[in-house]
């Protein structure tokens, strides 16, 4: 039977197997060389990206370390500042307490009461003359207006008017 070639194949029952023709050595070498060159370029491009990534990561780590050390130094500075201020506050409290004790011991309250009653004619208030005012949690009362008329009449009575 006749054999005919179709699409790169040989058909028929008496066809011998075709041995692939070897490419010339030079072609194979240049193809391998091209493949190697392409691989080298790809590797160089990959190495360049990897190097850039490592450099960026190293810079970020270095910046983080420097920032951490700065914050640590600030914290230490603040702690020392707080400690010195607490020491100063304690000294001021001690000085204040000493001054208060000195003032309180230098006054004779019995003498002051005696002078107020005997020489100045002051008297203790009667229970119906005392006006109590609930000021909540504050330590002092600030008067922002006139007292009601009833209370001012008590004040007049106290003053002797």
Q: Where does residue 154 rank: exposed (0-12), middle (13-18), buried (19+ CB within 10 A)?
A: middle
Q: Say what the pTM is.
A: 0.39
Give the model's pLDDT for residue 112.
87
User: Which one-letter DSSP state was computed for residue 8?
Assistant: T
CA pair distance 82, 88, nearest whole angstrom: 10
What is the percentage of the chain residues whose pLDDT exceeds 70? 58
Q: Which residues contact 154 (CB under 8 A, 6 or more apart)?
A: 129, 131
Each residue's pLDDT tens digit, 128-140: 888 777 766 666 6
* CB contact at 8 A, 155 and 147: yes
Specify whether the CB–CB gap between 1 and 12 falls below 8 A.
yes
Burial annotation 87-109 (CB, 10 A radius, 16+ → b, else e)? eeeeeeeeeeeeeeeeeeeeeee
- In 107-148, which residue ranges form alpha helices assigned H by DSSP? 109-114
* pLDDT tens figures, 79-133: 999 999 999 999 999 999 999 999 888 888 888 889 999 999 998 888 888 877 7
What was the pLDDT predicted at 127? 85
Please state, in angstroms and rounded to a whole number, the distance separating the CA atoms of residues 98 and 86.
18
Q: Which residue has the higher pLDDT, 150 or 31?
A: 31
Identify whether the C-beta of residue 50 lies closer than 8 Å to the C-beta of residue 58. no
Q: Is the pLDDT of residue 143 over 80?
A: no
What single-letter DSSP state applies at residue 136? T
Please determine, for residue 18, whether its predicted confidence score (pLDDT) is greater than 70. no
pLDDT value at position 125?
Answer: 86
């Amino acid at each position: 039977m006749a054999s005919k070639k179709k699409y790169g194949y040989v058909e028929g029952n008496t066809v011998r197997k075709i041995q692939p023709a070897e490419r010339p050595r030079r072609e194979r070498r240049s193809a391998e060389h091209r493949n190697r060159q392409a691989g080298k370029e790809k590797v160089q491009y990959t190495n360049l990206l990897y190097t850039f990534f490592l450099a960026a990561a190293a810079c970020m780590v270095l910046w983080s370390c420097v920032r951490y050390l700065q914050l640590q130094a600030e914290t230490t500075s603040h702690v020392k500042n707080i400690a010195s201020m607490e020491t100063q506050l304690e000294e001021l409290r001690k000085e204040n307490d000493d001054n208060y004790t000195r003032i309180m011991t230098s006054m004779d309250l019995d003498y002051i009461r005696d002078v107020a009653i005997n020489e100045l004619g002051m008297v203790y208030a009667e229970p119906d003359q005392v006006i109590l005012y609930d000021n909540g949690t504050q330590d002092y009362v600030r008067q922002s207006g006139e007292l009601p008329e009833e209370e001012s009449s008590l004040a007049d009575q106290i003053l002797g008017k």
